[in-house]
Amino acid sequence: MCCMRDFLNRSVRARAFYWLCLAGGLASVGFTYSGEILKSTGRRSNEAPVPARGKLGQDLFIAIDHRSVDEVRSLLTKGADPNSLNGLEIRPLFLAAASYQMDVMQELLKAGAAPDVSSTYGTPLMFAATSGNLAGANMLLERGANPNSIRSDGISVMMMAAYSGNPALIDELIKRKADVTTKDDGGETALSFAARAGHVEAGKKLIAAGAKVNEPDVDGRTPLMIAAMAGQTDFVKLLLSKGAKPNALDSAGRTALVLAAHYGNYPDIVKALIDGGANPKAKDVDGRFAGTVADGRGFADAASILGSLKAKPMLRSSRSSVEMAVKALQSSMSTFNQSATCVSCHHEGLGRIATGEAQEHGFKLDSEVQKVHVGRLRGMAGGMKGLHQAALENPEAMKQLPLVEMNEVGSAYSWLMAGMSANREPATEATAAMAMVLARQQAPDGSWTFSLPRIPMQSSFFTFTALSVRALKDYGPKARGAELTQRIGKAKDWLARTEPKSSEDRASRLLGLKWAGADAKELKASVPAILADQRPDGGWSQTPNLQSDAYATGQALYALHVGGGMPVTDPVYRRGVQFLLRTQDADGSWFVSKRATPVNNYFDAGFPHGESQYSSFNGTCWATLALLETVEKNKRAK
Express each pLDDT in 167-210 by its tens digit: 999 999 999 999 999 999 999 999 999 999 999 999 999 999 99
* CA–CA–CA angle 330, 333, 338 (5° rounding): 130
Spans in the chain with pLDDT lower than 70: 1-52, 308-314, 341-342, 397-408, 410, 452
Residue 514: helix, strand or coil by DSSP? Answer: helix
Q: How far apart are the first and last CA of the chain?
A: 54
Burial status of residue 536 (CB atoms within 10 A of its CB: 0-12, 13-18, 19 or more): exposed
pLDDT at 88: 72
Give this prediction's pTM: 0.87
Neighbours of 475 (CB within 10 A): 27
DSSP state of 541: E
Burial status of residue 232 (CB atoms within 10 A of its CB: 0-12, 13-18, 19 or more): buried
Q: Does domain 318-628 have CATH number 1.50.10.20?
A: yes
How far is Cα of residue 81 from the mean position of the Cα atoms in its chain? 32
pLDDT at 382: 85
Burial status of residue 430 (CB atoms within 10 A of its CB: 0-12, 13-18, 19 or more): buried
Residue 168, φ and ψ in degrees, nearest 5: -65, -35
Longest dimension (CA), the chain: 75
pLDDT at 336: 87
Handedness of CA 259, 261, 263, 266 (dihedral sign): positive
- Compute the distance between CA of residue 628 and CA of residue 630 in angstroms, rounded to an integer: 5
Query: Do residues 377 and 311 make contact, with C-beta atoms less than 8 angstroms apart?
Result: no
Q: Determine the residue type at 147.
A: P
Query: Do residues 630 and 589 make contact, with C-beta atoms less than 8 angstroms apart?
Result: no
Instruction: Measure Cα distances from 30 to 33, 412, 468 in Å.
Output: 6, 9, 19
Residues near 624 by Cβ (< 8 Å), separated by ≥ 6? 322, 325, 326, 329, 354, 357, 358, 554
What are the domain boundaries of the chain? 318-628
Instruction: Measure Cα distances from 396 to 78, 391, 429 in Å.
Output: 20, 7, 21
Residue 523: helix, strand or coil by DSSP? Answer: helix
- Compute the distance between CA of residue 465 and CA of residue 182 in angstroms, rounded to an integer: 42
pLDDT at 70: 98
Residue 540: helix, strand or coil by DSSP? Answer: strand
Phi-psi region of 218 (alpha: psi -120 to 50; beta: other; left: phi over 0): alpha
Burial status of residue 93 (CB atoms within 10 A of its CB: 0-12, 13-18, 19 or more): buried
